[in-house]
Structure 1
Amino acid sequence: MTTTPARPTHTTAPDGQLEQRLRPAAFSDAMQVNKAFARTRRDTRRGVNRITSTENPERHWKPKRSGGEDPAAHLTIEQIEELGREMDAIRQRIIDSRGAADAAYIRRVIAVQRGLDMGGRLVLMVGSRNKAAWVLGTGALTVAKILENMEIGHNVLHGQWDWMRDPSIHSSTWEWDHASPAEAWKHSHNDLHHTYTNVIGRDNDLGFGIARVDKDQPWRPWMVWQPVLNAVNALTFEYSIALYDLELGRYQGKPLKAWKPAIPGLLGVARKVVRQVAKDYVVTPALSGPGWKSTLAATWTANLTRNLWSNGVILCGHFPEGVQTFSRASTVGETRGEWYLRQMLGSANISGSPLMHIMTGNLSHQIEHHCFPDLPSNRYAEVAVEVRDVFDRYGFDYVTGPMPVQLGSAWKKIFKYALPNGAWGELRERPVQSVAAGARWSVGQVLKSLGRKKKHSRR
């Protein structure tokens, strides 16, 4: 199996501490992400996710509980590994060609973002009670926040710009304008999501713990509310992600003392949230003097718009129709070519203009991002042409479409899988009978719950 040469960790900076700080984050690129598969002793003992050589003659795809055909059944093992080598070659070509133009790009985007942020806040401070100034300042601040989270923060924290050896644009030193602390986010996103992409029971990003988006995910009664929960999640996205990064689900139902390991993470999120709230909702409005209410409303609007936008982009990249999910067993002995296949088939793109691509953090090229998470985002459009050619030649569907179409497809899944398997089709065919049956079931659940509580109180 092709491996990544060790990246140099030295720097010409005279300060030894700077050298340590600039050490690239683990799992920052697609090659090293695979090493996380055997991180735990439990997985190593069970043989789960252990990477094997490409000479292994076994195809490791295994059907999910619901069955289904192998999406790569038309390829031989050798063809799949050749696909992996082609993808490696694309990645290496971009790595070898990174240079001054790429560095100038990210510095330019950062300069524009900071200019919009400062300019927007200044306009709001001096003229927030003027409608035109309010719209101008709010718009500038909104764009600045979207750029910072999507094209800058997300991609810097992926290590896309670590090769520049610039301490101000490095994954080990960057802290973004977001409620989630950078280190917590890098663990849940880089180490876990990008490792176990769309593996049911492994990738917590499959619904973020509040949505069922695949028929192989178990259904629970509370999931009938998941359209509402996901709407709330979109409105409060930065805070939802901050809590999600803590993986609090592992402590659910356990006694209070079992939550002790979660305390440092909770405190870290609390400190970050306090700083964000103070900056946006205390300091900036206070500097506006008499117009503080208008400035407060403007900042809230900017954050709300940023939350809705980033949530929409992420839904479009992971949940539309045509995106594949995988069983845990499929990752046992997964080869390099198979890993690429999972990234290619488990992601979806958004078509649109260059401006739209920048505003999505180039996550409109989600397929390319999942295959090459550490490549500079400004090169994804270039890479997409070659990756689409690989899809065509190897007989796979390249899932892409306009944002409204992809978003509508993702939300359709959220509604569909809020119900037990098969119930959505029945609801469409017999709406009155289905709603009546659902109402009877709901009443029965409530009565059962009340009965259990009454029995418990008697004890």
Structure 2
Amino acid sequence: MTALHDEPVGTTATHDAPADPTAHLSAADIDNLGAELNAIRDEVIASRGEADAAYIRSVIDAQRKLELASRAILLCSLFPPAWVAGTIGLSISKIIENMEIGHNVMHGQWDWMRDPAIHSTTWEWDNVSPADMWKHSHNELHHTYTNVRGKDNDLGYGIMRVDEQQPWKPLYLVQPLSNTLDACFFQYGIAFYDLEIGKYLKGRVDRKDFLRRSKKVLGKIFRHATRDYVLHPMLSGPSAPTTFTANLTANLVRNLWTHSVIMCGHFPEGVQTFATDSIDGETRGQWYLRQMLGSANISGSPFMHFMTGNLSHQIEHHLFPDLPSNRYHEIAPKVQDVFERYGLTYTTGPLPKQVASAWIKIIRLSLPNQFLKAPVNPASPGPTTAASRGARRI
């Protein structure tokens, strides 16, 4: 496998490129690693069945009932207890719909059920980013080119510097502020990110296609805003103002939560980025290795995993994006065992530590490299990593 980092370009930094944490692996090691991960995937594929189907159907049913009940309570949101209960319920409902249902259904995790109502080709989620555009930017691009600089547009969402190897620009000085705003308006940021505005401004996107997609995004934003900020408040009669603020709060909570979970998946210390030429001629084993090193997990309770859409198992999700999300907890110990036996670091930690690690990196990398301390060696345990034990050549 080629080096994980290339030399910095367009910066006066004197930092040496970090050590390659895969240098101890031979081509045969990587092929064997790929075969072991293929076996884990095949085992889950062969065991999918009615229990999995019942799981997703029960989640969808519970989410819809929770949303309906919460909106019914908000009809009386003029009374503070109703506002609090309705807002909490609606916030949780929106998080579940986006993360455990929408994100995972659109990944094709449940396509094997052959249920047209729960299928990646038919699902449209409660988010202002149209499903087809999101699937292109997320499923096709991000999951194919995970953390490859210049290929993966998710790397810093295109507006942040998240690696020393990215050339520094004065604009990055404000990235702590811009990331805060992005967290508050995350669903809108994702929608405009999916539009690929930067590529359009550089003349790399057809104008007619861009206008067509812009119309689709604006149409969905209008429908979403009309439902949450006009229709439901009007139905509340005297409680219209408080129902409006409840919907606004629920969307804010969903945005902040989703943003934090996504940040924890790819930005904490210890997560790798990759040079563009490092994927030339990439084998399946090398692709697996890139997903392993380019992702990070969040440790916690079953409820926390559920509320993240099981993206707390980000490593397992990136290895097997089309496996049912409810099976990630089952295969996580097997995947961690592969990390340990091949001398790799399985980056994980509690949510507060992972969020703090990601934010510290964003603040730190807003400055030019010459103002930074030496970068953390990604081969060593970061602040929230489970160190590889008994590392050896397989």
Q: Which residue of 1 aligns with 2:40?
A: 90
Residues 228-262 of structure 1 show CA distances to partners (whole Å, capped at 9, x for unaligned) of: 0000000000000000001111122659x974431
Say if 1:60 and 1:333, in contact at 8 Å, map to a contact too: no
Code of the residue aligned with 2:96 in structure 1: it is L
Code of the residue aligned with 1:135 in structure 2: it is V
In the aligned structure 1, how far is the partner of 2:241 from the partner of 2:213?
33
Residues 396-452 of structure 1 show CA distances to partners (whole Å, capped at 9, x for unaligned) of: 1100000010000000111111111121349xxxxxxxxxxxxxxxxxxxxxxxxxx
| Unmatched tracts of structure 1, length 5 or more | 1-58, 427-459
- Residue 189 of structure 1 pairs with residue 138 of structure 2: yes
Structure 1 residue 71: Cα displacement: 1.6
Code of the residue aligned with 1:76 in structure 2: it is S
Matches of residues 366-385 of structure 1 in structure 2 within 5 Å?
366-385=314-333
Q: Residues 135, 252 of structure 1: CA spacing in aligned structure 2 closer, same or farther, 3 A cutoff?
A: same
Q: Which residue of 1 aligns with 2:229?
A: 281
Aligned pairs, number:
366
Q: Residues 358, 62 of structure 1: CA spacing in aligned structure 2 closer, same or farther, 3 A cutoff?
A: closer
In the aligned structure 2, how far is the partner of 1:119 from the partner of 1:71?
50
In the aligned structure 2, how far is the partner of 1:298 from the partner of 1:217?
40
Code of the residue aligned with 1:178 in structure 2: it is N
Code of the residue aligned with 2:242 in structure 1: it is S
Say if 1:212 and 1:414, in contact at 8 Å, map to a contact too: yes
Say if 1:194 and 1:370, in contact at 8 Å, map to a contact too: yes
Q: Which residue of 2 aligns with 1:177?
A: 126
Code of the residue aligned with 1:281 in structure 2: it is Y
Say if 2:147 and 2:294, in contact at 8 Å, map to a contact too: yes
SS in 2 for 1:169: coil
SS in 1 for 2:155: coil
In the aligned structure 2, how far is the partner of 1:424 from the partner of 1:293?
48
SS in 2 for 1:170: coil
Code of the residue aligned with 1:68 in structure 2: it is P
- Residue 303 of structure 1 pairs with residue 256 of structure 2: no
Say if 1:365 and 1:381, in contact at 8 Å, map to a contact too: yes
TM-score by length of 2: 0.91
Q: Which residue of 2 aligns with 1:24?
A: none
Structure ID, larger Rg: 1
Residues 119-149 of structure 1 show CA distances to partners (whole Å, capped at 9, x for unaligned) of: 0000101x11111111111111000000000
- Residue 71 of structure 1 pairs with residue 13 of structure 2: no
In the aligned structure 1, how far is the partner of 2:4 from the partner of 2:312?
29
Among 333, 355, 358, the residue aligned to 1:407: 355
In the aligned structure 2, how far is the partner of 1:374 from the partner of 1:236?
28
Matches of residues 342-357 of structure 1 in structure 2 within 5 Å?
342-357=290-305
Q: Which residue of 1 aligns with 2:84?
A: 135
Structure 1 residue 65: Cα displacement: 1.2
Q: Which residue of 1 aligns with 2:368?
A: 420
- Residue 251 of structure 1 pairs with residue 193 of structure 2: no
Higher relative contact order (CA 8 A, sep 6+): 2
In the aligned structure 1, how far is the partner of 2:160 from the partner of 2:145?
18
Instruction: Report % sequence identity.
Output: 59
Residues 299-323 of structure 1 show CA distances to partners (whole Å, capped at 9, x for unaligned) of: 0000000000000000001100000
Structure 1 residue 222: Cα displacement: 1.1
Code of the residue aligned with 1:124 in structure 2: it is L
Q: Which residue of 2 aligns with 1:5?
A: none
Q: Which residue of 1 aligns with 2:151?
A: 202
In the aligned structure 1, how far is the partner of 2:123 from the partner of 2:215?
19
Say if 2:5 and 2:273, in contact at 8 Å, map to a contact too: no
In the aligned structure 2, how far is the partner of 1:63 from the partner of 1:129?
56
In the aligned structure 2, how far is the partner of 1:63 from the partner of 1:273?
39
Matches of residues 18-33 of structure 1 in structure 2 within 5 Å?
none
Structure 1 residue 73: Cα displacement: 1.2
Say if 1:62 and 1:329, in contact at 8 Å, map to a contact too: no
Q: Which residue of 2 aligns with 1:320?
A: 268
Q: Which residue of 2 aligns with 1:395?
A: 343
SS in 2 for 1:124: helix
Code of the residue aligned with 1:79 in structure 2: it is D
SS in 2 for 1:350: coil
| Unmatched tracts of structure 2, length 5 or more | 9-16, 375-394
- Name segments (4+ residues, structure 1) moved above 6 Å: none
Say if 2:4 and 2:273, in contact at 8 Å, map to a contact too: no
Q: Which residue of 1 aligns with 2:109?
A: 160
In the aligned structure 2, how far is the partner of 1:271 from the partner of 1:331?
38
Say if 1:124 and 1:133, in contact at 8 Å, map to a contact too: yes
Structure 1 residue 62: Cα displacement: 5.6
Q: Which residue of 1 aligns with 2:71?
A: 121
Residues 366-392 of structure 1 show CA distances to partners (whole Å, capped at 9, x for unaligned) of: 000000000000000001010000001
In the aligned structure 2, how far is the partner of 1:61 from the partner of 1:81?
17
